[in-house]
Chain A
Amino acid sequence: MVDIDWWGLIVPFAYLVVLSGTFMTFSTIYRKRKATQSANLAPWFGPHLQRNIYLSLLHMEPEANGSEKAAAAKTPKVPESVIRAALLRRAVEDIHRIIQIRTAKAACSSLLQRGSVGDDLWQRFQRAEKEMEEELRDVVMEANALAPNWGQIIFQSANEIAANTVLKQRLDEIQAQTEREKEWWEKRRSTIKTESLKKLEDESEKTQGKVGSEDEPVLVDTNTPSATPVSGGGSKKKKGRK
């Protein structure tokens, strides 16, 4: 009979068990963590206010109809035009988001390849992209339900509205500066005026004084030409300070 050293035999088996056990726990923990991470990714866009408004407007009807006639009388039926306007607003917001996604896509993927941004950003981005596709389809369907064939042109008009609002915003920004600019120019004009008046006075004094002393005009002459070629704005200022 072969004498088996059971204790000695346990060691290699324990080694195998520990090894495989470690690998298994590691992989399960790793996968679980990955899953929770991707589940908890923050959405790319914030809450869609326009969609929420549209949906709440749309769902006011059944509630009012479903309960009682008195309630229906209290909350009048939402006019069709308001719902349409809400849908158009929603489409405009979608256009903004789509533009953002389209411009970001090439940049995001190239940055991901270079390792300048993280993997989870790309995941979030892809999720947002898919979400937007669904959203667009939903808007088209809703539009078709509200008015036949509206789905084909709703995004065209939304696009124009979006472009227009951007333009208007920029114009407003520029317009907002006018007050300040006006104020500054008023102030500047008055200082320039007083300066030039002073200068005129000085010059008239000089012409009078020329007869008296010989040195002074020479000094002034050497000073001015060296100062003028520097810069228009600068020399003006300096004169103002004298």
Chain B
Amino acid sequence: MGADYAYDEEGYLWPFFVFTLTFIVTLPLTYLLVSRSRDPAAALKRVQSDYRHEHADLVDTLRKQEKRKDRKLWLLAFVMAGWAVMGYMLYLINTTEAPTQKIWNPYDILSIPESASIKVIKSTYKKLSLRFHPDKIRPDASRNETLEDLNARYVEISKAYQALTDEEVRNNYIQYGNPDGKQGYSINIALPKAMVSDGNGKYIVLIYSALFGVLLPYLVGSWWYGTLRRSKEGSLMESANRLFRAYQDDIDEGGVITALSEGKEYEDLFKGNKADSQLSRIESKILAEGELSPFAGGLSVKHKEKLQNLESGPQRKALALLWAYLGRVELDDPALNKAKLEVAPISHALNKSFTAISLAYMNTAPLLASYYTSQLLIQALPPKSSPLLQLPYFTPKIVKAVEGDSRIRTSVQSFMDRPDSKRRSLVVGKNLLTEQQYKEAVKVAKQLPYLRVAKAYFKVTGERCIIPSSLVTLVVKGRFVPPGSEKLPEVNEPDLEDIDPAEDDLDAILGRKTKKQIGKDENGKPIMSADSEPILPPLASAPYFARDHSPRWHVFLTDSKQGRVAVPPFTFAQFDRPVFQEDGRTPTFAMQTLKAQFQAPPQAGHYTFVMHVVCDSYVGFDTKMEVTLIVDEASKAAEMADDDQISEPDEGWSTTFLP
């Protein structure tokens, strides 16, 4: 009696197997599908505005297209197929009856009740043996009986009788459920018999080799080459290489835009004769005389020459369209207008690559140019143009009415700081804005998140002074003050302080509470841990940009004398306290904390840095201020610690050396 293996002949086991397998694969994919189809941007607040420019519909369709691109159709098909298979398998499991091994019951065989006495058993057995003894009856051909059947039936009957009368057989029956003693058990493999039966072998081999010889190498290869093809920033590697070559130490925003047009992505966008079609038309439009700048596209003479020196092809077309986009030039052709809106998001993606490259060089000017280009691309403004154009209904003509012939650009903040009557008298009038439009513009302006820095200082967690090579935290305290905000509350002094986490709060010290991370650093404030949900500012108000963009703030320190970046940027996309109240437009003026950690210089002394806080979505919302880092000698720090020991004897200085 041994274990014998059987394949699943009746087909009642393999549905279980297939069901489990499909379940394991389908469930994560379903999760992926659901999480992906849930639009993350939909949950975010937006700047409330009813403003629709004439191509707003086109921008909307482009945004929708982009979202649809994210939705992978094959994934949907795969998940649906998976669930269909699982459903079918469930159906199979329910309908096919498993061949249950009948429990051997001697009473059933003798067809007597279980309460029958020995006497009854004996008499029944006698009756039955008389009737069914193989010598007594002959096989009934009509019921398809053979001699063996009759024999078997008789053996069964006598076995049943013995089980009920004979002591040994009865024991066997009680122990193993069978009068013959222990039975062999069988193991079934949950594969359909068809898989191993003769003749099907070659198909199985074919499927096997297709899986491991074709599909697996294909998947691995496509993954590997996919990672090689794209740079870390998500642009094509070839584009990143070209951007690296285009980098110059004295590059300005126009130069960055020219460099971005080199992207290989445009070659895919403008294939074949698309590259040259109507190029001259676009160029004549952007080089027409502009209202605020010499050319309508907003480009300078230098960059105009660069454009005209290019060979006609995808790059030139992309660059021309980019200038048309930035200058908000009407191209009088639906296809061209669409292409104009399409090139900007591509450039914005490429610009990330350029930012990384300029960061590797550690020079301030190119890095700033790259960030400013991001602002320009999102807001559709040419370089050195008026930030006022970010407001709805503002056209160059209205900007001219505000600025006069001054060369200093009026920022949104300074415009909104003027009294309402003054602003109104400037921009509302014949050929200018209507009362309605003016109200809309002011409404939008009052929702733009301008981060006004209240204080910026350095500290070392748990120490009183900064010693050489210690880990310094730059703490930037600021409030979101939209331009033109009225009734701005006074800064609450305690808000400006940064309290170290309690010494026993190891999680906070080690920054282990990843949930309350803001940007790149940990929130040391133990008070904050209660409302650790990070808060996102509203999506950037960018009516021309064909993507939803969540604004970010970059904080970095530069050395103004050398023009080099001293502390690379820390990026903040989330904040620890709400920016706007529930209605989404009333600012809370809550004090936000931005923290960046870096290593102090190895020598003691006074270091003056320029701190830049750059918003990547709005023009003219940046802060630039001087901060001084005072690094004391290590001996002085020790002295101060000694002082502590004398004045506060119960708080030993050794506690400062906690991990």
| Same complex origin of A and B | yes
Interface residues, chain A, with chain B CB atoms under 8 Å away: 11, 22, 44, 103-104, 106-108, 110-111, 114-121, 184, 187-188, 191, 226-227, 230-231, 233-234, 236-238, 240-241
Q: Is there an interface contact between B419 and A116, defined as CB atoms closer than 8 Å?
A: no
Number of A-B residue pairs having CB atoms within 8 Å of each other in the complex: 83
- Could you tell me if B244 and A111 are in contact, using CB atoms closer than 8 angstroms? yes
Could you list some 29 contacts between A and B, CB below 8 A? A44-B245, A104-B244, A104-B361, A106-B360, A107-B361, A107-B362, A108-B244, A111-B357, A111-B360, A114-B356, A116-B231, A116-B356, A116-B360, A117-B237, A117-B241, A117-B357, A118-B228, A118-B241, A119-B228, A120-B241, A121-B240, A121-B241, A121-B245, A226-B419, A230-B417, A233-B406, A234-B418, A238-B422, A241-B404
How many Å lie between the Cα of A163 and that of B422 in the bound state? 52
A231 touches B357 (CB 8 A): no
Interface pair B357/A107, CB less than 8 Å apart = yes
Contact B419 A227, beta carbon cutoff 8 Å: yes
B405 contacts chain A at the CB level, 8 A cutoff: yes
Q: Is the CB of B244 within 8 A of A187?
A: no
B414 pairs with A116, CB closer than 8 A: no
| Chain B residues in 8 Å Cβ range of A11 | 205
Assess whether A103 is in contact with B405, with CB atoms less than 8 Å apart: no
Known A103-B361, A111-B357, A191-B405; contact A116-B417, beta-carbon cutoff 8 A: no
A227 touches B418 (CB 8 A): yes
A226 closest partner in B (C-beta): B419
Q: How far is it, in angstroms, between the C-alpha of A116 and the C-alpha of B233 when the chains are bound? A: 7
**Are B418 and A117 touching (Cβ within 8 A)?**
no
In the complex, chain B residues 237-252 whose Cβ is within 8 Å of any chain A Cβ: 237-238, 240-241, 244-245, 249
Answer whether residue B258 sits at the interface, using C-beta atoms and an 8 A cutoff: no
Interface of B is mostly: helix
Max count, chain A CB within 10 A of own CB: residue among B213, B244, B408: B244
Residues of B contacting A117 in the complex (Cβ-Cβ under 8 angstroms): 231, 237, 240-241, 244, 357
Residue B617 CB within 8 A of the other chain = no
B residues near A104, Cβ cutoff 8 Å: 244, 361
Number of residues of chain B lying within 8 A (CB) of chain A: 34
Interface hub of A120, A187, A233 (most chain B Cβ within 10 A): A233
Residues of A within 8 A of B238 (CB): 118
Q: Which of B231, B357, B401, B406 contacts A115 (CB 8 A)?
A: B231
Contact A234 B401 (CB under 8 A): no
Measured CB to CB, the nearest residue on chain A to B238 is A118
5 shortest A-B CB distances, which residue pairs?
Answer: A237-B404, A107-B360, A118-B237, A121-B241, A115-B232
User: Which residues of chain B have C-beta atoms less than 8 A from A114's C-beta?
Assistant: 232, 356
Q: Does B407 contact A (CB under 8 A)?
A: yes
**Residues of A close to B410: CB separation below 8 A:** 234
Query: Is B353 among interface residues, defined by CB-CB distance under 8 A?
Result: yes
Q: Which of A188, A191, A236, A241 contacts B426 (CB 8 A)?
A: A241
Given A106, A120, A237, which contacts B406 in the complex, CB threshold below 8 Å?
Answer: A237
A198 to chain B, nearest CB (A): 15
Hey, which chain B residues are within 8 Å of A110, CB to CB? 360
Q: Chain B contacts of A188 at CB under 8 A?
A: 405
**Bound CA span A226–B418, Å:** 9
Question: What residue of chain A has the Cβ atom nearest to residue B410's Cβ?
Answer: A234
Q: How far in angstroms is the closest Cβ of chain A from B150?
A: 44
Which B residues from 356 to 410 make CB contacts under 8 A with A? 356-357, 360-362, 401-408, 410
Query: A116-B360, A118-B237, A236-B406 known; 15 other A-B pairs, CB under 8 Å?
Result: A107-B360, A107-B361, A108-B360, A111-B357, A116-B233, A116-B357, A117-B237, A118-B231, A119-B228, A120-B241, A227-B422, A231-B417, A237-B402, A238-B426, A240-B404
Contact assessment for B240 and A116 in the assembled complex, using a CB-CB cutoff below 8 Å: yes
What residues of chain A lie closer than 8 Å to B404, measured between beta carbons?
237-238, 240-241
- Cβ contacts under 8 Å, B245 to chain A: 44, 121
Q: Write the B417-432 contact mask toward A (1 if CB under 8 angstroms, else 0).
A: 1110010001000000
A118 & B240 in contact (Cβ 8 Å cutoff): yes
Q: Given A118-B237, A188-B405, A227-B422, does the pair A103, B357 have CB atoms closer than 8 Å? A: no
Asked if A234 meets B241 with Cβ closer than 8 Å, knowing A103-B361, A191-B405, A240-B404, the reply is no
| Nearest-Cβ distance from residue A97 to partner chain B, whole angstroms | 13
Q: Which residues of B contact A240 (CB under 8 A)?
A: 404
Of chain A, the residue at the smallest CB distance from B352 is: A116
Distance in angstroms between the alpha carbons of A237 and B410 in the assembled complex: 11
In the bound complex, CA of A184 to CA of B407 (Å): 9
Contact mask B207-221 → A, CB, 8 Å, 1/0?
000000100000000
The residues of B that contact A227 with a CB separation of less than 8 Å are 418-419, 422
> In the bound complex, what is the Cα–Cα distance between A44 and B54 (angstroms)?
45
- Specify the chain A residue showing the minimal Cβ separation from B240: A117
Inter-chain contacts of A234 with B (CB < 8 A): 406, 410, 414, 418
Which chain B residues border A187 with CB–CB below 8 Å? Answer: 405
B231 CB contacts on chain A under 8 angstroms: 115-118
CA A233 – CA B419 in complex, angstroms?
A: 16
Nearest B residue to A118, CB-CB: B237
In the bound complex, how far is the Cα of B422 from the Cα of A114, in angstroms?
53
CB of B249, distance to nearest CB on chain A (Å): 7
Cβ-defined contact, B418 with A237, below 8 A? no
Q: How far is the CA of A11 from the CA of B201 in the complex (A)?
A: 12
Interface positions, chain B 274-323, Cβ under 8 Å from A, are none
User: How distant is the Cα of A227 from the Cα of B414 in the complex, in angstroms?
Assistant: 12
Cα distance A226–B404 in the bound complex, in angstroms = 20
CB of B200, distance to nearest CB on chain A (Å):
15
Residues of B within 8 Å of A108, CB to CB, are 244, 360
- Closest residue of B by beta carbon distance from A239: B404
Q: How far is the CA of A118 from the CA of B240 in the complex (A)?
A: 7
A227 to chain B, nearest CB (A): 6
Closest B residue, CB atoms, query A44: B245
Instruction: List B contacts of A118 (CB < 8 A).
Output: 228, 231, 237-238, 240-241
Complex Cα spacing A123 to B344, Å: 31
Q: Nearest CB to that of B233 among chain A residues?
A: A116
Measured between beta carbons, the chain A residues less than 8 angstroms from B205 are 11
B232: chain A residues within 8 A (beta carbon): 114-116
CA distance A191 to B407 in the complex (A): 14
Query: Within the complex, what minimum Cβ distance (angstroms) separates A165 from chain B?
Result: 15
Please indicate the chain A residues that have their CB under 8 angstroms from the CB of B406 in the complex. Answer: 233-234, 236-237
How far apart sit A233 and B407, CA to CA, in the bound complex (Å)?
Answer: 9
Q: With a CB–CB cut-off of 8 A, which chain A residues contact B228?
A: 118-119
List of B residues within 8 angstroms of A103 by Cβ:
249, 361
In Å, the complex CA distance between A119 and B419 comes to 58
Chain A residue numbers with a CB within 8 Å of B213 are: 22
- Picked from A116, A226, A230, A241, the residue with its CB within 8 Å of the CB of B401 is A241
A106–B418 alpha-carbon span in the complex (Å): 49
The distance in angstroms between the C-alpha atoms of A241 and B400, with both chains bound, is 11
| Chain B nearest CB, measured from A199 CB (Å) | 15
A227–B426 Cα distance when bound, in Å, is: 13
Question: Smallest CB-CB separation from B426: which chain A residue?
Answer: A238
In the bound assembly, the distance between CA atoms of A188 and B231 in angstroms comes to 50
Shortest CB–CB separation between residue B233 and chain A, in angstroms? 6
Do A111 and B417 touch across chains, with their CB atoms under 8 A apart?
no
Q: Considering the chains assembled together, what is the distance between the CA atoms of A110 and B228 in angstroms?
A: 17
> How distant is the Cα of A187 from the Cα of B426 in the complex, in angstroms?
22
Name the residue on A nearest B249 (C-beta): A103
Docked Cα-Cα span, A234 to B417, in Å, equals: 11
A234 to B357, CA, bound (A): 38
B322 → chain A, closest Cβ, in Å?
Answer: 22
Residues of A within 8 A of B360 (CB): 106-108, 110-111, 116
Which A residues lie within 8 Å of B419 (CB)?
226-227
Considering the chains assembled together, what is the distance between the CA atoms of A117 and B418 in angstroms? Answer: 48
Given A107-B361, A114-B232, A116-B357: A233 and B408 within 8 A (CB)? Answer: yes
CA distance A11 to B228 in the complex (A): 37
Least CB distance from A168 to B in Å reads 15
A231 to B150, CA, bound (A): 117
B418: which A residues are within 8 A, CB to CB? 227, 230, 234
Name the A residues within 8 Å of B356 (CB-CB): 111, 114, 116
In the complex, A171 Cα to B576 Cα: how many Å?
49
